Amino acid sequence: MSVDTATVKKVASLARIAISDADAERLAPELNNILGWIEQLGEVDTANVEPTTAVIPNSLRLREDVVTESDQRAAVLANAPQGEHGFFTVPKVVE
Amino acid sequence: MSNITDLGVAQLRDGVRDGAFSATEVATAFNDAVAKAKPLNAFIVETPEHALAAAKAADDARAAGETPKPLAGVPIGMKDLFATKGVQTTAASHILEGFTPPYESTVSQRLWDAGAGMLGKLNLDQFAMGSSNETSYFGNVISPWRRNDGGNAPLAPGGSSGGSSSAVAARIAPGATGTDTGGSIRQPAAFVGISGIKPTYGRCSRWGVVAFASSLDQAGPMARDVRDCAIMLEHMAGFDPKDSTSLDLAVPKWEAGLSGDLKGKRIGIPKEYRVEGMPEEIEALWQQGIAWMKDAGAEIVEVSLPHTKYALPAYYIIAPAEASSNLARYDGVRYGQRALPEGANLQDMYAATRAAGFGDEVKRRILIGTYVLSAGFYDAYYTQAQKVRTLIAQDFENAWTVCDLLLTPTAPSAAFALGEKSADPLAMYLNDVFTVPSSLAGLPAMSVPGGLDKSGLPLGLQIIGKPLDEQGVLNASLAIEERAGFTARPEAWW
Amino acid sequence: MTESTYRIQGDTGEWEVVIGLEVHAQVTSNAKLFSGAATAFGAEPNSQVSLVDAAMPGMLPVPNKECIRQAVRTGMALGAVINKWSRFDRKNYFYADLPQGYQISQLYHPLVGEGTLEISLDEKDPEAFTKTIGIERIHVEQDAGKLMHDQHPTRSYVDLNRSGVALMEIVSRPDMRSPAEAGAYLSKLRSVLRYVGSCDGNMDQGSMRADVNVSVRKVGDELGTRTETKNVNSVRFVMQAIEFEARRQVEVLESGGRIVQETRLFDPDRGETRSMRSKEDAHDYRYFPDPDLLPLVLDDAFLDACQASLPELPDAKRRRYESDLGLSAYNAAVLTADADTARWFEALLAESARVQKKGEQEVARAAANWLISDLFGALNRLGKGIDESPVSPEQGAELLALVGDGTLSGSLGKQVFEIMLETGDAPGKIVEERGLKQTSDTGAIETVIAEVLAKNPNQLEQYRGGKEALFGFFVGQTMKAMGGKANPAVVNELLKKALAG
Ligand SMILES: [Mg+2]
Ligand SMILES: [Zn+2]
């Protein structure tokens, strides 16, 4: 598997991280190096092995259907970089 | 009593309880030490008023004749990955700069409830991604240690809990919280000659801890000795209904259960941990550790963990994959920094915000994680890694049929100089080779100092235990501590 | 089973339409799927948002048992396989209504597997044209928040009140072949959900909405490329969207174009679908198991309790109304289509049988007829649903009893019902206070008939001369003179005698 700069840019775009052409050039060999090393995992025979689902044997606990959180709009909005009238705001989205 | 800041958690607790000194004296002494230690860059935010308030509460309670709380009079450092109500919490990233949580993490709340006070928020590798504390947006943490070669090369305190390790080793905090995803408590503890334990996955609540890799992240204490770690862990661990992966179990009385007598215990020595290129001094320390185990009454058995060499590559799929998703919430909408270039639409804003807000290592891991999860690669990478993880866990299960605990080195080297490995991410990742397998299996594991290398730098030994056997891990670590007689400490140069 | 004959007529021949629906149904619950915030509709913006819903750093999901229970019950009502081992996965994409940057959903191991839903295409005779639509799966997932684009010239507003509300996504097989089938499927599904009580089915409040997958093909061909029209929120719009989209696809194909697999939006004002640019690049969702959540394992006790709590479902109820109560197929279908109607009818029926001291099957027809024609007619006029009826089932039963025992004539019954609607009073009280009782007093009726005959000598002569059609005239005059209160049967009998002379 070889990652070229176009792939780096595509992945960066999926991850919503703006990168320059120079960044992509720099990252491509770096990521190739890491991915190449990771690929040794392919050597392991995992034919009859289940993927790990829980690190420590345990299953999901369920909560009762009770409203435990009251209105905390002020706390929720307190750190917002931008907002008004009780809303978070973002650049206008055209759907 | 020469110097209050030379005392550890247990001594401070006992001294305050017995009236040897007041909690306020303790808090003041450590606050002053923190203020003087700026060159270490161990703290991102200092909170002397928090430490003093907790101290005053302890002193008032004592004056009123109340039973002291279990950590009354003990000020600690809080890794800046734990959300602290009203105190900036950044995970050492720019993207969270200025974020003031309106909530307190479960682990930190438990410590405050036990009477502890906070000296400040400790620096770390950005989003806990790193092994040298060189990825913090707020600058490198410097180890208080220096090589005995007369040079002044600043050394890495290890990572990601580098602020924690540096502060405890420098005696500017008697104890600190850490978090460990692939070794982030144990490796920095080893690098600075202190102790640190990562408990069984699920012992400590992850609620309110900035997530790196959810299936691996565990909080734990870092302190000067095993007893101090036991005390702190008792007041960090415990069931939390707000964390679905939290274990619904009572917290054992680990401090009371401490014993360095290992009679009847079988200690496994995994042969696959004898890696190529490992310094002779590490091997020698390991042998020394084996001798100490025998001296403590344990039986030594050779064991095999055949999939060990695949642990690191599996980890470098699973952790970045989880991180790429966990860090998607940092988008500049609800908190933290926003970058909004002229004319940017929503998606441009995300990309610009994240480009400006995340450091290089964080971006690198997000990209790897995004890549391994992306269409067409999921099975080959992620599913395969999770299968290998099952095999690694099975290796440990098999080992437990012949032994109770495992003894290994903590890291493949002593602390390196800052900048020495930062150019090669892969070389940096290899630092975690001994700590990652037990993380993947969710097992409790601890690092204790064993001795010094030729350069006068600390080296650590690691004890790995069965699920939930923190007591066994602590006791074997105590047996090492009692025999190693490790008293070396860095000379204050800051 | 009926084969659809619905076809789009193109220039190159007939096209068949293939339709699958993904219905998002909001689970009825007090709190959200993974947080303790409230789910009530219409709250102030961002007032029902917990730190978890806002995806604050370090926040973790803990699932709500009731949401799981309702999804399991829904699956059982659709005869579906319930998976005792399921998992939550993360669906990763970036959007301002999705604070976590991922939606917690279920891709690889959904809670509910395959089931079926039987639809009928003729409401007058439900058994005549039926079709079984396959259900592929039901999974549980989080709803997103809401964006408002019209509040500010350059900004969109984000409201996270819906963020984290529990949804069931009910995915059908591509088994539908016409807008009518899709409409029937959606209506029937809504009916089942309301019976089960797992979703209130309020499409106008967004509690139920459908993603409509449409493709076209020449009859007998392979499946064509489909488009997905998102979040269509009424049965009528679903049918419109399918019709528009099928025609559009036929036009594209016939003019040599290709259908792009894409997400589209339905514009109800124009009755059109259009491409959604904003979600174009979101195709690689990088699903993986949510590491914050362990596998969901259900035990037999939980499943048994879910099964035991299921009510009688609409098809079973309809068949029982026909066979046990002797109702017509149409009436049975109308009364069982909606859970509230059936519940109202059954209360009316039980009360009618009680007050009339008769068996339910003896009073069922009258009750059904009155409910369907009189009550529904009135509610329609008032623009109210049956759950808002100003008349209670007990009052309805009392009215039916008064008509049944002859106290009120049919027309008096209608008169009393109108007064009930206005005043909310019980029928007995109205009859008492207004003296609306029907009379069968032969002496009184005979006196009035004598007066009527005396006043209308011409008509009497014509009648006796053979113009028997005038009988109705005399009945009318007699009833009028008695203020409508005379028992018509008695009037008829006495008039015949008197006219015969
Ligand atoms: Mg859909
Ligand atoms: Zn969905």
What are phi and psi for residue C411, nearest 5 degrees?
-75, -35
Chain A CB contacts of C67 under 8 Å are 65
CB of C102 less than 8 A from some CB of B: yes
Q: How far is CA C218 from the centre of its chain?
A: 34
**What confidence tens digit (pLDDT) does each residue in C397-450 have?**
999 999 988 888 888 899 999 999 999 999 989 988 887 777 778 888 889 999
Q: Which of C106, C163, C130 is nearest to C329 (CA)?
A: C130
| Closest CA in chain B for residue A16 | B351
CB C159 to CB A87 under 8 A? yes
Chain B CB contacts of C61 under 8 Å are 244
Per the CB < 8 A criterion, the answer to whether B390 and A52 are in contact is yes
Per the CB < 8 A criterion, the answer to whether B360 and C130 are in contact is no
Chain A CB contacts of B314 under 8 Å are 41
Residue A95: the pLDDT is 67
CA distances C500 to B178, B236, B290, C443, Å, are 110, 105, 128, 18
> Ligand 2 centre and the CA of C385: distance in Å?
30
| Closest CA in chain C for residue A17 | C94
Torsion of Cα atoms, B328 then B334 then B335 then B336, to 10°: 60
Residue B213, pLDDT above cutoff 70: yes
Question: Which chains does chain B touch, 3 or more C-beta pairs < 8 A?
Answer: A, C
Q: How sure is the predictor about C313, in pLDDT bands with cuts at 50, 70 and 90?
A: very high
> Ligand 2 centre and the CA of C140: distance in Å?
8
Between B148-162, C74-88, C278-292, C462-476, the lowest mean confidence (pLDDT) is in C278-292
CB of C255 less than 8 A from some CB of A: no
Domains of chain B, each with CATH number or no CATH: 4-261+475-484 (3.90.1300.10)
Give the mutation candidate from A7, A50, A60 for the C interface (greatest C CB count, under 10 A).
A60
| Architecture of the domain delimited by C442-499 | Orthogonal Bundle (1.10)
Residue C486: the pLDDT is 83
Residue A5, pLDDT above cutoff 80: yes
Give the mutation candidate from A25, A27, A38 for the B interface (greatest B CB count, under 10 A).
A38
Residue C158, pLDDT above cutoff 60: yes
Helix (H), strand (E), coil (C) string for chain B:
CCCHHHCCHHHHHHHHHHCCCCHHHHHHHHHHHHHHCHHHCCEEEECHHHHHHHHHHHHHHHHCCCCCCCCCCCEEEEECCECECCECCCCCCCCCCCCCCCCCCHHHHHHHHCCCEEEEEECCCHHHCCCCCCCCCCCCCCCCCCCCCCCCCCECCCCCCHHHHHHHHCCCCCEEEEEECCCCCHHHHHHHCCEEEECCCCCCCCCCECCCCCCCCEEEEEECCHHHHHHHHHCCCCCCCCCCCCCCCCCCCCCCCCCCCCCCCEEEEEHHHCCCCCCHHHHHHHHHHHHHHHHCCCEEEEECCCCHHHHHHHHHHHHHHHHHHHHHHCCCCCCCCCCCCCCCCHHHHHHHHHHHHCCHHHHHHHHHHHHHHCCCCHHHHHHHHHHHHHHHHHHHHHHCCCCCEEEEECCCCCCCECCCCCCCHHHHHHHHCCCHHHHHCCCCEEEEEEEECCCCCEEEEEEEECCCCHHHHHHHHHHHHHHHCCCCCCCCCC
Phi-psi sector, C417: left (phi>0), alpha (psi -120 to 50), beta: alpha
Paired tokens of C381: 């006029």
Per the CB < 8 A criterion, the answer to whether B435 and B462 are in contact is yes
CB of C45 less than 8 A from some CB of B: no
Q: How far is C349 from chain A (nearest CA, A)?
A: 35
| Closest CA in chain B for residue C104 | B325
> Ligand 2 centre and the CA of C93: distance in Å?
13
Residue C282, pLDDT above cutoff 70: no
Q: Which of B70, B52, B76 is nearest to B14 (CA)?
A: B70
Q: How sure is the predictor about A1, in pLDDT bands with cuts at 50, 70 and 90?
A: low
Separation CA C395–CA A71 (nearest Å): 42
Residue C277, pLDDT above cutoff 80: no
> Ligand 1 centre and the CA of C169: distance in Å?
8
- Residue range C273-282: mean pLDDT, rounded: 69
**Coil/strand/helix, residue C409:** coil
> Ligand 2 centre and the CA of C141: distance in Å?
7
Residues in chain C: 501
Residues 6+ apart with CB under 8 A from C256: none
Paired tokens of B14: 């006992």
What's the Rg (C-alpha) of chain A? Answer: 23
Separation CA B380–CA B227 (nearest Å): 44
Give the mutation candidate from C93, C156, C163 for the A interface (greatest A CB count, under 10 A).
C156
Separation CA B248–CA A55 (nearest Å): 15
Paired tokens of B248: 């619904």
Domain boundaries, chain A: 5-43
Q: How far is B83 from chain C (nearest CA, A)?
A: 7
CB of B322 less than 8 A from some CB of C: yes
Per the CB < 8 A criterion, the answer to whether B177 and B111 are in contact is yes
Question: Which chains does chain A touch, 3 or more C-beta pairs < 8 A?
Answer: B, C
What's the Rg (C-alpha) of chain B? Answer: 21
CB A44 to CB B384 under 8 A? yes
Residue C2: the pLDDT is 62
Per the CB < 8 A criterion, the answer to whether C398 and C356 are in contact is no
Domain boundaries, chain C: 8-292, 314-434, 442-499
Residues in chain B: 494
Q: How sure is the predictor about C200, in pLDDT bands with cuts at 50, 70 and 90?
A: very high
| Closest CA in chain C for residue B343 | C154
Q: How far is C23 from chain A (nearest CA, A)?
A: 21
Residue C201: the pLDDT is 95
**What confidence tens digit (pLDDT) does each residue in C1-46 have?**
567 889 999 999 999 999 999 999 999 999 999 999 999 999 999 9
Residue B1: the pLDDT is 46
CB A93 to CB C54 under 8 A? no
Per the CB < 8 A criterion, the answer to whether C407 and C431 are in contact is yes
Chain B CB contacts of A91 under 8 Å are 340, 344-346, 348-349
Q: Which of residues 184-213 of C touch A (CB under 8 A)?
A: none
CB of A18 less than 8 A from some CB of C: no
**What confidence tens digit (pLDDT) does each residue in B241-269 have?**
999 999 999 999 999 999 999 999 999 99
Q: How many CB pairs under 8 A join B and C?
A: 98
| Residue located via tokens 């037999």 | C300
Per the CB < 8 A criterion, the answer to whether B196 and B189 are in contact is yes
CB C286 to CB B373 under 8 A? yes
Separation CA C346–CA B356 (nearest Å): 65
**Residues of B classed as catalytic:** 79, 160, 184
Q: How many CB pairs under 8 A join A and C?
A: 132
Separation CA B372–CA B370 (nearest Å): 6
Q: Which of C476, C45, C155 is nearest to B349 (CA)?
A: C155
Q: How sure is the predictor about B322, in pLDDT bands with cuts at 50, 70 and 90?
A: very high
Chain B CB contacts of C283 under 8 Å are 375
> Ligand 1 centre and the CA of C266: distance in Å?
14
Chain C CB contacts of A58 under 8 Å are 294
**What confidence tens digit (pLDDT) does each residue in C40-90 have?**
999 999 999 999 999 999 999 999 999 999 999 999 999 999 999 999 999
Separation CA B92–CA B81 (nearest Å): 8
What are phi and psi for residue C335, nearest 5 degrees?
-70, -20
Q: Which of residues 64-93 of C touch B (CB under 8 A)?
A: 90, 92
**Better-predicted residue by pLDDT, C346 or C476:** C346
Separation CA A69–CA A67 (nearest Å): 6
Chain B CB contacts of C99 under 8 Å are 329, 333-334
| Closest CA in chain A for residue C48 | A71
Closest Cβ opposite residue A88 in set B201, B334, B429:
B334
Paired tokens of C310: 């299921």
> Ligand 1 centre and the CA of C93: distance in Å?
14
Residue B151: the pLDDT is 86
What is the CATH number assigned to the segment(s) A5-43?
1.10.20
% of chain C residues with pLDDT over 90:
81
Paired tokens of C124: 């007058």
**Among the bound ligands, the one closest to the CA of C142:** 2
- Residue range B453-473: mean pLDDT, rounded: 97
Chain A CB contacts of C44 under 8 Å are 71, 73, 86
What's the whole-model pTM score? Answer: 0.93
Separation CA C132–CA C184 (nearest Å): 11
CB B371 to CB A30 under 8 A? no
Per the CB < 8 A criterion, the answer to whether C54 and C252 are in contact is no
Q: How far is B115 from chain C (nearest CA, A)?
A: 23
**Strand B117-122 vs strand B75-79: parallel, antiparallel, or unpaired?**
parallel
**What confidence tens digit (pLDDT) does each residue in B374-404 have?**
988 999 999 999 999 999 999 999 999 999 9
CB of C55 less than 8 A from some CB of A: no
Query: Residues C416-432, buried b or exposed e (16+ Cβ, 10 A)?
Result: bbebbbeeeebbeebbe
CB of B241 less than 8 A from some CB of C: yes
Q: How far is CA B148 from the centre of its chain?
A: 26
Separation CA C93–CA C96 (nearest Å): 10
Residue C306, pLDDT above cutoff 60: yes
Residue C216: the pLDDT is 97
**Strand B405-409 vs strand B266-270: parallel, antiparallel, or unpaired?**
parallel
- Residue range B417-441: mean pLDDT, rounded: 91
CB C94 to CB A16 under 8 A? yes
CA distances C196 to C33, C133, C307, C339, C357, Å, are 19, 19, 11, 9, 32
Chain C CB contacts of A71 under 8 Å are 44, 47-48
Q: How sure is the predictor about C484, in pLDDT bands with cuts at 50, 70 and 90?
A: confident
CB B96 to CB C58 under 8 A? no
Residues 6+ apart with CB under 8 A from B457: B145, B147, B155, B191, B414, B415
> Ligand 1 centre and the CA of C285: distance in Å?
12
Separation CA B168–CA B162 (nearest Å): 10
> Ligand 1 centre and the CA of C424: distance in Å?
46
CB of B98 less than 8 A from some CB of C: no
> Ligand 2 centre and the CA of C50: distance in Å?
22
